[in-house]
Amino acid sequence: MINQLISKIRRTNAPIVVGLDPMLNYVPEHIQKAAFAEYGETLEGAGEAIWQFNKGIVDAIYELVPAVKPQIAMYEQFGIPGLAAFRKTVDYCHEKGLVVIGDIKRGDIGSTCEAYAVGHLGKVQVGSKWYGGFNEDFSTVNPYLGSDGVKPFLKVCAEEKKGIFVLVKTSNPSSGQFQDRLVRAKAQEGDKPLYEVVGEQVAAWGEEYMPQEGAYSYVGAVVGATYPEQGRILREIMPKAYILVPGYGAQGGKGADLVHFFNEDGLGAIVNSSRGIIAAYQQAQYAHLGEKGYADAARAAVLAMREDISSALNGKTR
């Protein structure tokens, strides 16, 4: 799946993943009205509204980008009907040929962790039959619990040829509260921040899980665009890990900040934008397209993002 992702990135020339994180206040009024007319102002109505919204976005962008990243929290808040919309979105994106990164940030231990891995990336056994619960291609994983919280995912990844992105240095302002704490390392090395220790572990996990010798690994990492200097260091620590980069656009990351997340081969990173694309129609520069043109605005925002990243990478001197 990492090879598939890379070949799609090459074909689209867009190391971009569109974050399908539909807040109800991003959903244009005509879509909300139609959904509520059919299902009432219920959780089912909300699920229908975000599903129809997503469908419009996906139809507008699927030829331009390799992947989407639905953020499951935005669906989970609407309970079962919300999660049904998540599943429907995953399936539809697959129909359209997109790679789906489930932004689920799960992390647990033992059989519990296996259950998450199986439910999102694998298949679960029921009697003599096997089923996929949510069927994503990649998941994000929280590393706080150590190897016990990651290895069950790796096992399923190896079986299914799927992948994970481990949280290393997140894009938010308070990510340094624990991730940047200097931890004692070997005597000759000096202290280093926790995110470097986690990054080293990601590289170590990844060495055992790659599709072929020398390729990018099934084990990627999440490093926020808002921390370009840390990105540069982590790029060196984890040369074979694909880096999923959130924080571009609405959170403040710019094209120029992204340069150091990529390798010399022009690969190695995929940049996420959520709000900046799916709610582009609410920005002044796309306002002329109106609410009904929300999908066109998303398409235009993808093209602008592709251009921004491409310029930054072409101007790259290392």
Q: Does 188 bind a second copy (CB under 8 A)?
A: no
Nearest approach, Cβ of 135 to a second copy (angstroms)? 9
Q: Out of 55, 91, 160, 197, which residue is the one contacting a second copy (CB under 8 A)? A: 197
Q: Does 30 bind a second copy (CB under 8 A)?
A: no
Q: Out of 64, 115, 312, 313, which residue is the one contacting a second copy (CB under 8 A)? A: 115
Task: Return the range that interacts with a second copy (CB under 8 A); candidates 175-183, 212-220, 254-262, 289-297.
Answer: 175-183
- Identified catalytic residue from 8, 105, 161, 316: 105
Within 72-91, which residues bind a second copy (CB under 8 A)?
73-74, 76-80, 82-84, 87
217 backbone φψ class: left, alpha, beta (φ>0; ψ -120 to 50):
beta
Q: Does 174 bind a second copy (CB under 8 A)?
A: yes
Q: Out of 66, 107, 220, 228, which residue is the one contacting a second copy (CB under 8 A)? A: 107
Q: Computed from CA positions of residues 18, 22, 26, 32, in that sequence, does the dihedral angle turn out positive or negative?
A: positive
- Other CB atoms within a 10 A radius of the CB of residue 17 amount to 28
Report the distance separating Cα 246 and Cα 260, nearest Å.
14
Which residues have CB under 8 Å from 165's CB, separation 6+?
A: 101, 138, 139, 140, 141, 220, 221, 222, 242, 244
Nearest approach, Cβ of 140 to a second copy (angstroms)? 9
Q: Does 20 bind a second copy (CB under 8 A)?
A: no
Q: Does 175 bind a second copy (CB under 8 A)?
A: yes
Between 3 and 36, whose beta carbon lies closer to a second copy?
36
Q: Out of 21, 136, 137, 257, which residue is the one contacting a second copy (CB under 8 A)? A: 21
Between 224 and 268, whose beta carbon lies closer to a second copy?
224
Q: Does 282 bind a second copy (CB under 8 A)?
A: no
Q: Out of 3, 4, 12, 43, which residue is the one contacting a second copy (CB under 8 A)? A: 43
Between 109 and 313, whose beta carbon lies closer to a second copy?
109
For residue 105, indicate whether it is catalytic: yes
Q: Does 29 bind a second copy (CB under 8 A)?
A: no
Residues involved in catalysis: 105
